[in-house]
Amino acid sequence: MSDAQPTPSPWRRAALLASKIIVSVALLALLFSRIDVRRLWAIARHASLLWLAAALFVYFLNVLASVWRWRLLLRAQGVAVGGRLLLGSFLVASFFNNFLPSNIGGDVIRIRDTARPAQSATVATMVILSDRVLGLMALFLVAAVGASAAAEFPAHAVLPIWPSWLWAGFALCTVAAAPAVLAPIGFSRLLQPLTVFHPEWVGDRIDKLTETLSRFRRQPGTVATCFIVAVGVQASMIIYYLAVIHALHLPVGIWDLAVIVPISFVVQLIPLSIGGFGVREATFSLYFARIGLPIESALVMSLVGAALLMLFSTSGAAVWFARGHQ
């Protein structure tokens, strides 16, 4: 029985891609029209290579923690996969996420690499979906805590998004995820009306979904550990940008980064741009202006940080070609 699903129209995908490119280019063009490019280049040119290397090391630890979380979720499903294979798969997925218009490509790689040991594409997909949900919950939590902390600094309190929205996002994710884990059978019954579209295929998927969620329910400690790791992964990105800030010799404190970095990731969840370009820089620029720093500082921090992540993700290309893919 095939797990294949219909794909969106090529014209629709092309139109969506074009609109994202337009948004990214327009925002970046607007921001660059308001800065002294020579000043931006001067800041980037004098960056400390040692601190940039430290930033890459922090991100490598971030990747290792993410891979460990993925492995824990697979083990909860009784799927044993070597850490080396998962690390390679994660790196390839990161490469696809950074160099393709959508991060769905990276998820497809991770699902494909674990579907065989899981003996089910549905189980592999549910593990990735669970990993995504935990990461999203952790992101909203870290962002909400950071934004709420900004209330202690009145001069910094004007944010791109209200703290109450972030807490609402965290609560919404929690409320949506809790029934699936705490009462998988009841949750699956809610999906039964979907069998009207394709009784056999959908019914089989719902059965596997119920079984997968039931396994998670029997291991609450593992789920809790994965959530704690997810929070640590999101928090580590603040340390990553702190290293970038030190490399660029910019006067930005860790508490400011604790506010704006997670918020920038939340804003990038809105599917308006390519890889967050433009939206991310606009978010940083807005906040930096509120704390009295020039737009050049925001742009150089954002672009250098993104460039380092893209540089790191090229290791995934090496893994991909080492597997013999063309």
Whole-angstrom Cα distance, residue 232 to residue 210?
Answer: 29
Whole-angstrom Cα distance, residue 201 to residue 207?
Answer: 10
Which pLDDT band holds residue 194 (cuts at 50, 70, 90)? Answer: low
With a pLDDT cut of 90, the percent of the chain lying above it is 40
**pLDDT for 72:** 95
Q: What is the pLDDT of residues 101-112, one digit of tens each?
A: 665 678 899 999
Could you tell me if residue 5 is inside a domain? no
Q: What is the pLDDT of residues 138-178, one digit of tens each?
A: 999 998 888 887 766 655 555 666 778 888 989 998 888 88
Could you tell me if residue 85 is inside a domain? yes
Number of domains present in the structure of the chain: 1
Whole-angstrom Cα distance, residue 162 to residue 168?
Answer: 10
Position of tokens 């935990």? 134
**Among the listed residues 11, 87, 21, the one whose alpha carbon sits nearest the alpha carbon of residue 275:** 21
With a pLDDT cut of 70, the percent of the chain lying above it is 86
CA terminus-to-terminus distance, the chain: 28
Q: What are phi and psi of 152, to 5 degrees?
A: -75, -10
Report the predicted TM-score, pTM, of the whole model to 2 decimal places.
0.86
279 compared with 164, residue with greater pLDDT: 279
Could you tell me if residue 239 is inside a domain? yes
93 compared with 153, residue with greater pLDDT: 93
**pLDDT for 20:** 85
Half-sphere exposure of 270 (CA within 13 A, CB side): 14
Whole-angstrom Cα distance, residue 112 to residue 120?
Answer: 10
Please spell the DSSP secondary structure of 221-282, one letter per residue: HHHHHHHHHHHHHHHHHHHHHHHHHHHHT----HHHHHHHHHHHHHHHTSTTSSTTTTHHHH
**pLDDT for 1:** 39
Could you tell me if residue 30 is inside a domain? no
In this structure, of 33-47, 90-104, 125-139, the range with the lowest mean pLDDT score is 90-104
Q: What is the pLDDT of residues 61-87, one digit of tens each?
A: 999 999 999 999 999 999 999 989 999
Distances, alpha carbon 116 to alpha carbons 91, 113, 124, 208, 210, in Å: 19, 7, 9, 15, 20
User: Is the confidence at residue 238, as pLDDT, over 70?
Assistant: yes
**pLDDT for 281:** 92
Could you tell me if residue 22 is inside a domain? no
Could you tell me if residue 136 is inside a domain? yes
Structural domain span for residue 167: 37-322
Averaged pLDDT for residues 252-257: 84
User: Is the confidence at residue 258, as pLDDT, over 80?
Assistant: yes
**pLDDT for 102:** 63
CB 240 within 8 A of CB 262: no
- The three-state secondary structure class of 108 is helix
Could you tell me if residue 9 is inside a domain? no
Q: What is the pLDDT of residues 20-58, one digit of tens each?
A: 889 889 998 998 888 888 888 988 899 999 999 999 999
Whole-angstrom Cα distance, residue 135 to residue 66?
Answer: 9
Averaged pLDDT for residues 199-221: 79
Helices 295-322 and 10-32, axial angle in degrees (round to 10): 140
CB 150 within 8 A of CB 159: yes
CB 141 within 8 A of CB 170: yes
Could you tell me if residue 24 is inside a domain? no
**pLDDT for 266:** 85
Whole-angstrom Cα distance, residue 45 to residue 248?
Answer: 9
**pLDDT for 11:** 80
